[in-house]
Amino acid sequence: MSDNYSVVAEGLCKRYGDKTALDGFDLAVRRGTVMGLLGPNGAGKTTTVRILTTLIRPDGGRAEVGGHDVVREPRAVRRRIGLTGQHPAVDEILTARQNLRMFGRLFHLGKEQARQRTEELLDRFSLREAADKQVKGFSGGMRRRLDLAASMILAPEVLFLDEPTTGLDPRGRSEVWQSVRQLTAAGTTVLLTTHYLDEADQLSDHIAVVDQGRKIIEDTPAGLKRAVGGDRVEVVLEDAADLPLAAGAVARVAHGVAPQTDEERLRVHAPVREGVAALTEVARTLQEAGTRVADLGLRRPTLDEVFLRLTGGAAETESTSETETTETETETETETETTEEKTTEEKESVA
Ligand code: ATP
């Protein structure tokens, strides 16, 4: 297995009674990158994380984390990983500093080493000001950051984040995102499972979409969006009389299909290959003809559209990003209870 990859899974299978949770799942996560695992409820994301963190064994296939086999060398794997989820494992009564020192000791660091590591992590996760305050007064985002810090006590090579921002408000989410970005900048490999499409988009270098126990596609966030149809040029006019002219201008740059004209909204749009060049060309034609334009832009598909197209189901949560480019809004509810319980169990077993 290549040294360039921190996580490799080949043909993983897992059944629970007559239910197939994983059905030949493959994954390879390059060292120092973030892989987002995205999929509908029951797709097999948590099962994958549980196998890779040695909490359960696969029925078939194999996996290595940090260069060690998850079944044959579980201890070596555990020494190289951190796991954090929706329920902070930190103690409410203790302060941030006391919590981190306690985790250091639990992970068998010497007293002085635990102290040093605690101070580093307080800085790294912007918790210094709150260091001597009891956790029970912390916001959700601060708790999750402290939890991330605790999972980094041993500076793991690979960090598993199982829905790290579920239940947080937008501010808390962005605080956690910032911490995750700092971790990856420092070289940690991250496997992130999330229900939030915008979270996968923001944090991941690559996204693997999982459905029915298999990976159905993997690409960069931009690549996934391109796969669903790429960019479109859109012109909105002031005057309906200019619609034919605008349709002609858009037709010259359109890729594959004829432009669509929406007479009611005075809008013409078409998919294009070279987005920026096409936009410039349309702008020039319209300007030379003296056309009055209300709006002209490049529209990109959102990850919601990608997800819907690929899994044929509903995206599980509302997406809050990319409102400028979203044309169809997807709003469904998050189901968190079962995974919350699982994550607590997992954390305890890993600790
Ligand atoms: P979610 O987004 O809802 O957390 P997921 O993608 O993490 O879903 P898994 O929790 O891995 O999906 O579950 C995959 C399948 O395996 C589901 O059909 C689930 O019902 C089933 N499953 C998972 N754990 C168990 C278990 N302990 N016993 C029985 N079936 C299980």
Which of the residue ranges 21-35, 122-136, 293-307 would you say has the lowest mean pLDDT?
293-307
Give phi and psi for 168, each to the nearest 5: -90, 150
> How confident is the model at residue 88, as a pLDDT?
67
Q: Are residues 52 and 16 in the same domain?
A: yes
User: Is 266 part of a structural domain of the chain?
Assistant: yes
Q: Which atom of ligand 1 is nearest to the CA of 17?
A: 29
User: Is 286 part of a structural domain of the chain?
Assistant: yes
pLDDT digits (tens, 9 = 90+) for 226-275: 776 678 899 999 999 999 999 999 999 987 778 989 998 999 988 888 88
pLDDT digits (tens, 9 = 90+) for 101-129: 998 988 888 999 999 999 999 988 888 99
User: Is the separation of the CB atoms in 160 and 53 below 8 Å?
Assistant: yes
pTM: 0.72
Atom 28 (ligand 1) nearest CA: 16
User: Is 324 part of a structural domain of the chain?
Assistant: no
Angle at 64 between CA 205 and CA 27, to 5 degrees: 40
Q: 305-317 as b/e, with b when 16 or more CB fall inside 10 Å?
A: bbbbebbeeebbb
Q: Give the distance (Å) from ligand 1 centre to CA of residue 21.
A: 6
Atom 31 (ligand 1) nearest CA: 16
Q: Are residues 67 and 38 in the same domain?
A: yes
More confident residue, 16 or 347: 16
Q: Are residues 191 and 292 in the same domain?
A: no
> Taking Cα atoms as reference points, which of 218, 188, 219 lies closest to residue 125?
188
Domain encompassing residue 176: 5-225+311-319
Q: Give the distance (Å) from ligand 1 centre to CA of residue 342.
A: 10
More confident residue, 33 or 316: 33
Cα–Cα separations (whole angstroms), residue 261 to 244, 245, 248, 267, 269: 9, 11, 11, 6, 7
User: Is the separation of the CB atoms in 284 and 277 below 8 Å?
Assistant: no
- In DSSP terms, which residues pair with 159 in a beta bridge? 82, 190
Per-residue confidence at 316, pLDDT binned at 50, 70, 90? very low
Atom 25 (ligand 1) nearest CA: 16
Q: Are residues 258 and 196 in the same domain?
A: no
> How confident is the model at residue 18, as a pLDDT?
92
User: Is 344 part of a structural domain of the chain?
Assistant: no
Structural domain tally of the chain?
Answer: 2
User: Is 14 part of a structural domain of the chain?
Assistant: yes
Distance CA 36, CA 193 (A): 6
> How confident is the model at residue 281, as a pLDDT?
92
User: Is 331 part of a structural domain of the chain?
Assistant: no
Question: CATH code at 95?
Answer: 3.40.50.300
- In DSSP terms, which residues pair with 134 in a beta bridge? 95
Pure H helices in the chain: 45-52, 74-79, 96-106, 111-124, 140-151, 170-185, 197-203, 221-227, 243-253, 275-288, 303-311, 337-350
Cα–Cα separations (whole angstroms), residue 248 to 231, 241, 273, 277, 287: 18, 13, 17, 16, 14
Q: Which amino acid is at 170?
A: P
Q: Are residues 184 and 59 in the same domain?
A: yes
Question: CATH code at 236?
Answer: 3.30.70.100
Q: Which residues line ligand 1 (CB under 6 A)?
A: 16, 19, 21, 39, 41-47, 339
- In DSSP terms, which residues pair with 298 in a beta bridge? 233
Atom 18 (ligand 1) nearest CA: 42
Q: Give the distance (Å) from ligand 1 centre to CA of residue 191.
A: 18
Q: Which atom of ligand 1 is nearest to the CA of 14?
A: 16
Q: Are residues 34 and 95 in the same domain?
A: yes
Q: Are residues 172 and 243 in the same domain?
A: no
